[in-house]
Structure 1
């Protein structure tokens, strides 16, 4: 069953409002190309759920049943590095929506039923030379 709720993260600055998404801001900053000590942030999509999923696991993490690989979004740190913040992953069970934030409190995720799944990796909360923004869009 396809969810009516979805978060989509991209480094592409194009406007997604024609696709039913609302811009929510910049989640953080990552590298567009491999940089010292960084790893790829992979994008997966489940069309049955309408869910976008992001992970540093490769090539096919066990939790991606039904997900198709969409490519590399950019490069983040697997371990904390100077000036970085953890990219926290939350999941809304039953709605099939993954939500990512650098906010330690999870923004509104905990009070809206999202379950904390852990740290995906580390990115910069503010621009750093050589990084690009990771835009967050929401449909729901």
Structure 2
């Protein structure tokens, strides 16, 4: 985050949600990958098959970012994933309003729920 703010003009919007640093009961890995050319473009998935399929198409595995729930439990909320094909940009948000703005106004397509996470307000 600090590098994206300092080098690329991003702004912090604060903490949207939390994931687990270690595997807890009922959690699964959230894999992190980066585009080889643009290290600021990250891709997250809970699917080892999707992770492995992204590596031959210019992504580099950065290991496990943390652990998340595969289904809604314990006050968790959906982590939505949207994608913009022209820019190969994935966006992740817990906000339905933000997700809908990306879909309705910014040319992104819905890729569903990536995982379930603990909201920052819990």
TM-score interval, smaller chain: 0.7 to 0.9
Q: Identify which of 111, 115, 119 aligns with 2:109.
A: 115
How many Å apart are 1:107 and its aligned residue?
5.2
1:77-133 CA distance string (max 9 Å, x none): 0111120111110001101110001112315312111111111110011366xxxxx
Number of the residue aligned with 1:38:
27
Q: Comparing both chains, which one has the higher relative contact order based on Cα–Cα distances under 8 Å and sequence gaps of 6 or more? A: 1
Matched, 1:84 2:76: yes
How many residues end up aligned between the 2 structures? Answer: 116
Matched, 1:53 2:47: no
* Separation in structure 2 between the aligned mates of residue 40 and residue 19 of structure 1, nearest angstrom: 29
Q: Identify which of 23, 30, 53 aligns with 1:62.
A: 53
Tell me the TM-score normalised to structure 2 length: 0.82
Tell me the TM-score normalised to structure 1 length: 0.72
| 8 Å contact kept, 1:16–1:23 | no
3-state secondary structure, aligned to 2:6? helix
| 8 Å contact kept, 2:15–2:120 | no
Structure 1: gaps (5+ residues) = 1-9, 129-140
* Separation in structure 2 between the aligned mates of residue 40 and residue 117 of structure 1, nearest angstrom: 18
| RMSD of aligned alpha carbons | 2.1
In terms of fraction of residues, the more strand-rich structure is 1
